[in-house]
């Protein structure tokens, strides 16, 4: 995989020229760029590589081999000469309508690369409608043994506005209400996926029922028939005006069977509605979680990765921006980067607004796809 970045004051044009010098027609050119640079970067990539599949997103922060980097542009390209990775992908538009109609399209692309040996991952980046998207892609993946891993793209406006039109790019064009997706097949090895949750449910934590929601804005209006922010304030012991600021310490959790999936608050309405990065459905069981020993959680997961992947070649990750903010607040960011670098070697990660893995959409979670040279 060819990896280039604007670190060191390189321009996007010079990076594209470097990639072009290595391969005039790569299988894939994927990019991550700073806020409000998506359209220009998409046009540039498509102009340099008109016969290649180009796709990208914007993100304030990326993870690059031991360091968290702010507002830089990265290009990841898969060369035609790369015999280790096979690639297919596309875009799903009109997510608010019925993306389920695209299942056959997705299946055909999967069949083009997947060998059936647990060597393939489906990576996606979406703008909205995470639950519909997860349902659609899992229907397409059914029976294949391929697992979904992805993220909702992030823009800083999400931290202050209930409604934000997020964007993705595909083959030179920019789309809202859409998802770009990518199948990566590790031809000579395997791909293992990992999910890391640093929050816990207290044994005596009370359960609350979501009695009023607004799915369009991902608003949790009421818990147990009362304004959601008021219920949270009373249980967590924080003033109403500090409820959202407490999200890194105690996010909401949605119970599904024996598991709890995080739902992060991003802003509060005057009526007590909590607008989240993840949708909460009416009658969902909701808990208030608490922060665990994240250093130990990191250490244990990285040890498990090394044990299960002795020939680890590359790690791709997506994780929530709130984790970056937490680690920065606690002065752990540099140590986190060093620990990841020591455990994983070559790796690249993206911070997003929400994460998707398997059949669930989650928040404040880290997801990892480990490319290894040994078969499972």
User: Do 57 and 179 sit in the same domain of this protein?
Assistant: yes
Are 317 and 32 contacting, i.e. CB atoms less than 8 angstroms apart? Answer: no
Q: What is the pLDDT of residues 170-228, one digit of tens each?
A: 999 999 999 999 999 998 889 999 999 999 988 888 999 999 999 989 999 999 999 99
- Cβ neighbours, 10 Å, residue 268: 21
Q: What is the pLDDT of residues 15-51, one digit of tens each?
A: 999 999 999 999 999 999 988 899 999 999 999 999 9
User: Do 63 and 163 sit in the same domain of this protein?
Assistant: yes
Residues pairing with 225 in the sheet: none
Cβ within 8 Å of residue 44, ≥6 positions away: 12, 13, 16
b/e per residue 40-64 (b: at least 16 CB within 10 A): ebbebbbebbeebbbbbbbbbbbbb
Q: What is the pLDDT of residues 217-243, one digit of tens each?
A: 999 999 999 999 999 999 999 999 999
For residue 249, give the nearest of 322, 321, 320, 319 by alpha carbon.
Answer: 322
User: Do 7 and 111 sit in the same domain of this protein?
Assistant: yes
User: Do 132 and 279 sit in the same domain of this protein?
Assistant: no
Position 66 confidence tier, pLDDT thresholds 50, 70, 90: confident
User: Do 220 and 97 sit in the same domain of this protein?
Assistant: no
What pLDDT shows up at residue 19?
96
Q: What is the mean pLDDT of residues 95-100?
A: 79
User: Do 245 and 318 sit in the same domain of this protein?
Assistant: no
DSSP string, 26-85: -SEEEEEE-TT-HHHHHHHHHHH-TTSEEEEEE-SEEEETTEEEES--EEEEE-TT-SSE
- Dihedral sign computed on CA atoms, order 80, 82, 84, 89: negative
Q: Which domain holds residue 244?
A: 199-291
User: Do 162 and 302 sit in the same domain of this protein?
Assistant: yes
Burial class (CB in 10 A: 0-12, 13-18, 19+), 104: exposed
Q: Which of 241, 261, 291 is the last residue of a domain?
A: 291
Q: Which of 291, 311, 344 is the last residue of a domain?
A: 291
Domain count, the chain: 2
Q: What is the pLDDT of residues 246-280, one digit of tens each?
A: 999 999 998 887 788 999 999 999 999 999 988 99
Q: What is the mean pLDDT of residues 335-353?
A: 90
Cα separation, 104 vs 118, whole angstroms: 21
Cα separation, 372 vs 354, whole angstroms: 26
User: Do 235 and 337 sit in the same domain of this protein?
Assistant: no
Position 376 confidence tier, pLDDT thresholds 50, 70, 90: low
Q: Which of 221, 256, 291 is the last residue of a domain?
A: 291
């Amino acid at each position: 995989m060819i990896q280039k970045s604007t670190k060191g004051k390189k321009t996007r044009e010079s990076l594209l020229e470097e990639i072009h010098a290595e391969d005039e027609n790569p299988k894939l050119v994927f990019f991550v760029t700073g806020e409000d640079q998506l359209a220009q970067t998409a046009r540039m990539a498509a102009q340099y590589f008109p016969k290649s599949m180009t796709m990208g997103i914007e993100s304030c922060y990326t993870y690059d081999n031991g360091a968290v980097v702010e507002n830089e542009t990265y290009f990841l390209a898969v060369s035609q000469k790369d015999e280790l990775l096979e690639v297919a992908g596309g875009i799903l538009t009109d997510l608010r309508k019925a993306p389920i109609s695209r299942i056959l399209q997705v299946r055909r692309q999967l069949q083009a690369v997947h060998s059936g040996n647990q060597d393939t991952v489906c990576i996606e980046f979406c703008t909205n409608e995470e639950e519909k998207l997860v349902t659609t892609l899992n229907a397409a993946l059914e029976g294949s043994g391929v697992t979904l891993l992805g993220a909702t793209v992030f823009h800083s406006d999400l931290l202050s506005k209930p409604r934000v039109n997020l964007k993705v790019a595909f083959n030179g064009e920019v789309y809202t209400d859409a998802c770009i997706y990518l199948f990566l097949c590790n031809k000579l090895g395997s791909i293992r996926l990992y999910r890391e949750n640093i929050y816990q449910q207290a044994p005596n934590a009370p359960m609350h029922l979501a009695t009023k929601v607004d799915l369009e804005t991902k608003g949790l209006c009421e818990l147990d028939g009362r304004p959601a922010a008021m219920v949270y304030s009373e249980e967590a012991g924080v003033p109403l005006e500090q409820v959202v600021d407490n999200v890194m310490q105690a996010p909401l959790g949605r119970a599904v069977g024996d598991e709890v999936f995080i739902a992060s608050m991003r802003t509060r309405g005057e009526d007590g509605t909590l607008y989240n990065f993840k949708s909460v459905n009416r009658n969902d069981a909701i808990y208030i979680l608490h922060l665990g020993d994240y250093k130990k959680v990191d250490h244990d997961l990285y040890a498990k990765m090394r044990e299960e992947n002795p020939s680890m070649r590359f790690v791709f990750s997506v994780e929530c921006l709130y984790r970056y903010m937490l680690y920065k607040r606690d002065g752990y960011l540099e140590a986190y980067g060093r620990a990841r670098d020591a455990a994983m070697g070559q790796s690249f990660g993206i911070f997003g607004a929400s994460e998707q893995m398997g059949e669930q959409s989650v928040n404040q979670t880290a997801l990892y796809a480990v490319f290894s040279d040994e078969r499972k």
